[in-house]
Copies of this chain bind each other. A is one copy, B any other.
Amino acid sequence: MNFEFEGNLKKLKAVWYENNEVVMIDQRMLPEKVEFYRAKNSQDIAYSIKEMVVRGAPAIGIAAAWGLAMAKSNHEDMDAATKLIGSTRPTAFDLFKAIKFMISNNFTVEAARRYSQEITNRCRKIGEYGDNLIPHKAKILTHCNAGALAVTEWGTALAPIRIAAHNGKDIFVFVDETRPRLQGSKLTAWELQNEGISHAVIADNAAGHFMHTKQVDLAIVGADRITASGDFANKIGTYEKAVVAHENDVPFFVAAPASTFDFSLNSGDDIPIEERGEEEVLSIAGKRIAPEKSRAMNPAFDVTPAKYVTAFITEYGIFKPNELKSLKSMIQKDMFMRED
């Protein structure tokens, strides 16, 4: 992805491997500062995923893949490393996909490189397919950050938006700020600004208003896990936006590579939902907002039933929820993605 650094536009990945370290943009610092976190062992990788130095389902998978390769070349106990990294965050399926892939490929650096490149290339294809869904002058709603920061480049939900903009379509993005962690306001707005794509940050509460008043042409979000039925988990608030989009006939698209599809589950009710700390809700930017004794509840994800999804944008093309069987058979024929 592009980013502006001391007045110059630079190319940057969200996660990469260098000198036996996994290097990542420390996403907790954005948009204020571009700082890098260097993971030197599996503990660092677990910390970086759990504390959201790196976040976004595909990027979590990529960080895990590189992390396991690094652990192996450090002669770590691989059972322990695998278990530790696998216990960081329960919802994003890419994490488990990446771990499985690395186990099947003996944790080699070459396998991690392949995993990272595959996922990145697949996201570019998501962008190309998704671009076809974006008319000239489209106004697009997105939630959370499913951008380059959530993959390494391109993004999932932001890949079609990037490519539509690069193809000269005059588009505008409504960026849900995405409380509690504000990934929209901090990360998506940062990516769009660096790419020169027109956007406005909105309170999550305002998304419904803009849909109801016909200011939104389509919505595109990412996913953390998609089941065989098309029910999917994504950042908390996605469910509300999908219901309101459906009510207002706003097409609602979910962009994700094969690594996010968990065909072992049918119903979204079976996806484990991570609960995060109360402080994310009760305080903002280190400042307590709520009264001292008030408590909070903080589910990090919600589940959106398939009936609210217009289509899934994947590297194999566009699939309606009732077409996921054919996606499944394509994935089973895919040397890289199939489950052996």
Binding site for B on A (CB under 8 A): 31, 174-175, 177-180, 182, 185-186, 189-190, 192-193, 199-210, 212, 235-237, 239-241, 243-244, 247, 281-282, 284-285, 287, 289-299, 302-303
Contacts and interface: CB of A to CB of B under 8 A. Distances in A.
Give the copy number. 2
Contact of A237 (B175, B203, B284, B287): B203
A281 B202 contact: yes
A294 B206 contact: no
Contacts of A182: 289
Contact of A289 (B237, B243, B285): B285
21 contacts: A31-B291, A174-B297, A179-B179, A179-B205, A180-B205, A186-B290, A189-B294, A190-B294, A193-B293, A199-B294, A200-B294, A201-B294, A203-B298, A205-B235, A206-B298, A208-B243, A208-B302, A212-B239, A240-B241, A240-B244, A243-B244
Contact of A201 (B186, B200, B209, B281): B281
Contact of A290 (B189, B281, B287): B189
Contacts of A192: 294
A289 B204 contact: no
A208 B239 contact: yes
A284 B237 CA distance: 20
Nearest to A179: B203
The interface centre, meaning the residue of A179, A189, A205, A236 with most chain B CB atoms within 10 A of its CB, is: A205
A18 B203 CA distance: 38
Contacts of A240: 205, 207-208, 240-241, 244
A203 B236 contact: yes
A185 B296 CA distance: 9
Given A182-B289, A185-B289, 4 more contacts: A201-B282, A205-B237, A212-B239, A247-B247
B209 A239 contact: yes
B302 A200 contact: no
The interface centre, meaning the residue of A185, A206, A208, A243 with most chain B CB atoms within 10 A of its CB, is: A206
Contacts of A206: 236-237, 297-299, 302
A284 B284 contact: yes
Contacts of A235: 205
A205 B186 contact: no
A201 B237 contact: no
